[in-house]
Amino acid sequence: MDIQFSYQKKRAEFGRQCLFSDKGPDLIDNYPSNRQLGKQYILKDPFDRHQQCAPIFAEHDINTTRAEYTTASMNHIEGGWPKDINLADEEQPKRYRRKIEKEENYFHTMMALFKNVENCILQNNSVNIYQQYFSDVEPTPLIERSSARTLNVYQDQYTPTRPVTHISWSPDGQTKLAVSYANLLFQAEVPNELKHSFIWDVENPNRPLMVLKPDHSAVCMEYHQKDPNTLVSGHKNGVVSLWDIRKGLEPVDSTIVEMSFRDPVYSVLWMNSKSGCEFFSGSTDGTVKWWDTRNLSEPTDTLILDYAREEDQDLAKAYGCSCLEYEPTIPTRFSVGTEQGVTISCNRKGKSAVEKMSARFQAHLGPVWTMQRNPGFVKNFLTIGDWTAKVWSEDCKESAIIWTNYHMARLTDGAWSPTRFSVFFTTRSDGVLDVWDLLQQQDEAVLSVKICDEELKTLRPHDSGRMVAVGNQKGTTYLVQFSENISMNNKNDKALLTAMFERENRREKILEARFRELRLKQKKSEMRMDASEAQLAEDPSEFVDKYVTQAEAEFKMIIDRETKPPEEEEEEEEEEEDEFEDEPEPPPPPPPPPESEEKKEKKDKKGKKGKKKK
């Protein structure tokens, strides 16, 4: 029985409420020392006393009941059955159970055992059921809610602040960030604008580790994939520069203006080569150029993004390069995203321009801001542009296999997760960072994080998959950390994603074949119309003889029919009647059945009444 007692107390007895205020100390009263009072005290020699050494008044000894154990053995391989019972025979164990259940002590023994079993069950309820007991069985993954938090904020050190245009992680454990800043507004005049870029230490957001001082603002900057001291950057004036931070804060070498681009360099990437000194860059002037760091006086190769033959290529008709994509596992292949919304799949081994630009994909309505291949599925790549993100396959060139809904805000950048192949990140112009997981849901993002109120410009994920660096319009870089379930790849994720991509590929191929048939039918009908028009243009007399004469004959027949005199019409009607007379007459209808006398009398009466009324 539970005994409860409630303690009650008035509010006035609680004491006065504490009201704190920011006020300095005040001297309320002062009591000066009085030496005359010291004569009233008796001085004693100092002594020590320990409270723990007080005498013990009581002592109690308590011990639990001693448990005595005996050793016994039993072979439970066959279930502990008696020797005279054969387990191969199903009837013998059943008879033995019925025999035991009929005994008098069975009921009392079971009732006594129930209490012990119930106690054990209640104890098991407090045990962690997810605890791993067996080493050969994989633990069940715990369901974790997706979450994100901001670790550090790296702000532009100068005013006025500049937008963040590119972020690159260092290859030495990714402990440093190279961030480039540039104002790309057309003919924007910003007074006192500096052109410096920063290298940040991830653990120190207060002050940059290094300040790089280029001659012009850096639009993109990329670390070497193996050397943490070497960087390459593309600038606003079209020049490409090489950096070695061991030799100073200025570029070691730069390209000549005459051999450089005419527009800002929007993307620069290192290539997987034997020397490790090759990289290529692209600009909106319509060219892609390959460089060697050992000699930057001229490019080693140049590609004009015009779908024409080698001798007919025109730089004025070329597509403007807005982003580049390169996968190190395929050293001869690369992709280009253009300002016209077209992505071009290129092969450097091609001899002519048409062979180099092997395939085109009409991806977006506006510029393609990002293009990246999936790290686990190289044939599938992600594109970001206008208000949507799309996942493409090289086997389907007509349309994307997966795409997101159109957002209210523009998408500015995106990237795949390097650890979980079904996850990709996107940034929006309203300051929101979205996390998409294709295996969970495709209609909306798994997680949406409001990073800031300004427009997000670029992002770059960490190799661990848990951290993402995001830059905004005001020159601030945020380091965001996600929960483990976003970065952790489960056992069946790759198989499920493979099945999803294959299913979407088949669906798009079927739709492409159907659209191809419809276009072919439409083309044939247009060809027929063009042939008739061409025939009319070449020999109009045949067209007149065929169609115009036929129309004239029909018109004459109608006029003759309307203008005939009435005598001829009567003759034609008589001829028609004669034709009808020649036809055999139909048999007469059968006679009506005879009426009864009562019905005849009723009809006579009705006829007489009608006459009287008249």
- Residue 180 is part of a domain; what is its CATH number? 2.130.10.10
Q: What angle do CA 380, 406, 486 make, to 5 degrees?
A: 55
Instruction: Quote the CA–CA distance of 602 and 613 in Å, as a whole number.
Output: 17
Residue 287: beta bridge partners? Answer: 304
Hey, CA dihedral for 236, 239, 242, 246, is it positive or negative?
A: negative
List the one residue out of 494, 496, 457 whose CA is nearest residue 478: 457
Using only C-alpha atoms, the chain has a radius of gyration, in whole angstroms, of 47
Please report whether residue 552 resides in a domain: no
Instruction: Quote the CA–CA distance of 121 and 104 in Å, as a whole number.
Output: 27
Q: How confident is the model at residue 508, as a pLDDT? A: 87
- Domain holding 304, by residue range, is 148-184+192-496
Q: What digits encode the pLDDT tens for the residues 288-315?
A: 999 999 888 889 988 888 877 666 677 8
Q: How confident is the model at residue 118, as a pLDDT? A: 82
List the one residue out of 255, 238, 245 whose CA is nearest residue 224: 245
Q: What digits encode the pLDDT tens for the residues 589-610?
A: 555 555 555 555 655 655 555 5
Please report whether residue 436 resides in a domain: yes
For residue 85, count other CB atoms closer than 10 A to its CB.
13
Q: How confident is the model at residue 40, as a pLDDT? A: 81
Q: What angle do CA 153, 156, 158 make, to 5 degrees?
A: 150
Strand order in the sheet with 368-373: 368-373, 380-385, 388-393, 402-403
The set of residues, in sequence order, having a beta carbon less than 8 Å from that of 544 and lying 6+ positions away, is none
Residues in the chain: 614
Residue 479: beta bridge partners? Answer: 152, 469
Please report whether residue 524 resides in a domain: no
For residue 253, count other CB atoms closer than 10 A to its CB.
15
Q: How confident is the model at residue 48, as a pLDDT? A: 66
Please report whether residue 62 resides in a domain: no
Q: What is the DSSP letter of 228?
A: T
Q: How confident is the model at residue 553, as a pLDDT? A: 83
* Paired sense of beta strands 432-437 and 423-428, if any: antiparallel
Strands (E), 363-446: 368-373, 380-385, 388-393, 402-403, 411-416, 423-428, 432-437
Question: Is residue 269 within 8 Å of residue 279, measured between CB atoms?
Answer: yes
Coil/strand/helix, residue 513: helix
Please provide residue 210's backbone torsions phi and psi, each rounded to the nearest 5 degrees. -140, 150
Tokens in use for 459? Answer: 């992002």
- Those residues of the chain that have pLDDT short of 50 are 580, 583, 611-614
Instruction: Quote the CA–CA distance of 460 and 412 in Å, as a whole number.
Output: 12
Instruction: Quote the CA–CA distance of 593 and 53 in Å, as a whole number.
Output: 142
* Paired sense of beta strands 333-338 and 342-347, if any: antiparallel
For residue 293, count other CB atoms closer than 10 A to its CB.
18
Instruction: Quote the CA–CA distance of 384 and 382 in Å, as a whole number.
Output: 7
Please report whether residue 346 resides in a domain: yes
The structural domain count of the chain equals 1
The reported pTM is 0.62
Residue 467: beta bridge partners? Answer: 481
Please report whether residue 521 resides in a domain: no
List the one residue out of 468, 371, 482, 488 whose CA is nearest residue 420: 488
* Paired sense of beta strands 278-283 and 197-201, if any: unpaired
Please report whether residue 347 resides in a domain: yes
Residue 350: is it exposed, middle or buried by C-beta count within 10 angstroms (0-12/13-18/19+)? Answer: middle
> What's at 15, amino acid-wise?
G
Q: How confident is the model at residue 108, as a pLDDT? A: 83
Instruction: Quote the CA–CA distance of 77 and 97 in Å, as a whole number.
Output: 18
Please report whether residue 80 resides in a domain: no
